[in-house]
Amino acid sequence: MRCILLITDDAGRAERLVRGHGASGRWFVHDLFNDDTLPSVEPDLIVSDVGVMSSDAVLRLRRALTTARRGGVPYLCLLHDNTARGELQARALGASLSVPAAAVSRMLAGAIGDLAAGAAPPVPVHKAVEARAFLNRLFKAGEPVTAAAIEAGAEIIDRAIHETGIRDWLEMVWRFDDATHQHCLLVAGLAAAFGRNLGLRPQDCHRLTKGALLHDIGKTRIPVAILNKPARLDEAELRVMRTHPVIGYEMLLGGGFDDLMLSVVRSHHELLDGSGYPDGLKGSQIPDLVRLVTICDIYAALIERRPYKAPMSMDRAYAILVEMGPKLDADLVCAFRPVTAVFDAPAAMAASA
């Protein structure tokens, strides 16, 4: 039976954690703020569950890890501060994988099993951390949206898709619980994979990723109560939400973005039959790059979990794209199929559950 060392700052929480996951292995608990020595064990896995990552806590945790972590033992960091800062701290501590503590019941058993069995985390943690930190600045810190910043963000995602593939990227992104961040990273990852599958030139793939990353930038100006509502929007709220393409377009005007990037932001909800918004564009009025992002955007929305809906299966989500018929570019929908075919449905759904 595998040996698991749990480092914690809360004995009661540790007891509940061990009680809920005791079948995962033999657990040994170390109180982070107790100066007694660590349990005399050679762990197969180290788990940290520290509620407040103060400077003292980080120092103590680093010291404990230095003592206990030998020979590349995997280290799982439970995040109570589920922000870019928390993920960066986990990275700095050398975590093999980090997961939100709030999601322990649905993620921890699988993570423990994979790490203790020697499986590598699905995507190098730093790539997801970099992308999440980038979006955190873009969506929450009020920094100006610059062409250089979008270039950097798209490069992060392009590298991740090139090195690890779309399935692994999405499995990591599904661990985030911020719906806006999750959606943007899903769409951008799908777009990067779509471009590669289409055989686009590297510079064109990069433009596609940039457009996908930018597409929902207008949501930074939508009231948080609407953006994060844990239920379907009513008609009035939906009208407000549907202003985000124009808001995003106006935000970027004069900011060094070319006309095609501006078109993606303004027109990613347009449909070929003219039933989309905000301008009711039809057919040839919608550039190819916009059509590509629209397909990725719709697919991502269908497979995402929301408080008011379960995630749709991969096959059913793709079937809906096909059923949309004249609203989408049929040739591009057909070309998108190999991107979705890389998913093993049961495994992918387990990651999003």
- Range of the structural domain that residue 26 is part of: 3-116
More confident residue, 105 or 245: 245
How far from the centroid of its chain's Cα atoms is residue 337's Cα? 21
Are 59 and 141 part of one and the same domain? Answer: no
Domain count, the chain: 2
Least confident of 48-62, 157-171, 216-230, 262-276: 157-171
| DSSP per residue, 63-101 | HHHHHH--TT--EEEEESS-SHHHHHHHHHTT-SEEEEG
Q: What is the pLDDT of residue 49?
A: 93
Report the residue count for the chain.
353
Alpha-helix runs per DSSP H in 141-223: 147-164, 166-173, 179-198, 202-214
Are 111 and 134 part of one and the same domain? Answer: no
Please classify residue 166 by burial: count the beta carbons closer than 10 Å to its beta carbon, then call 0-12 exposed, 13-18 middle and 19+ buried. buried
When pLDDT is cut at 50, 70 and 90, the band that residue 282 belongs to is very high
d(CA 340, CA 318): 7
Are 137 and 258 part of one and the same domain? Answer: yes
Are 132 and 101 part of one and the same domain? Answer: no
* Average pLDDT value for residue range 189-215: 91
Residue 254 DSSP symbol? T
Are 49 and 197 part of one and the same domain? Answer: no
Give the amino acid at 296. C
Helices 314-323 & 345-352, crossing angle to 10 degrees?
A: 100
Assign residue 275 the CATH number of its domain. Answer: 1.10.3210.10
Are 50 and 194 part of one and the same domain? Answer: no
* Average pLDDT value for residue range 96-123: 59
Last residue of a domain, one of 99, 116, 133: 116
Is the Cβ–Cβ distance between 50 and 23 less than 8 Å?
no
Degrees, nearest 5: CA angle 104-136-352: 35
Are 132 and 229 part of one and the same domain? Answer: yes
Least confident of 29-43, 171-185, 222-236: 171-185
Give the amino acid at 279. D
Are 130 and 112 part of one and the same domain? Answer: no
When pLDDT is cut at 50, 70 and 90, the band that residue 183 belongs to is confident
- Mean pLDDT, the chain, whole residue set: 82
Are 87 and 158 part of one and the same domain? Answer: no
Last residue of a domain, one of 116, 146, 176: 116
Q: Is the pLDDT of residue 123 over 60?
A: no
* Average pLDDT value for residue range 140-156: 74
| Residues 48, 49, 53, 56, CA torsion sign | negative
Is the Cβ–Cβ distance between 215 and 187 less than 8 Å?
yes
Are 85 and 145 part of one and the same domain? Answer: no
More confident residue, 266 or 304: 266
d(CA 84, CA 68): 26
More confident residue, 249 or 142: 249
Are 112 and 130 part of one and the same domain? Answer: no
pTM listed for this prediction: 0.65
Are 148 and 271 part of one and the same domain? Answer: yes
Assign residue 42 the CATH number of its domain. Answer: 3.40.50.2300
Inter-CA distances, 15 with 10, 11, 175, Å: 9, 6, 24
When pLDDT is cut at 50, 70 and 90, the band that residue 154 belongs to is confident
Last residue of a domain, one of 57, 88, 116: 116
Is the Cβ–Cβ distance between 207 and 220 less than 8 Å?
no
Share of the chain above pLDDT 90, in %: 40
**Token pair belonging to 331:** 């040739």
Residue whose C-alpha is closest to residue 219's, from 178, 257, 270, 256: 178
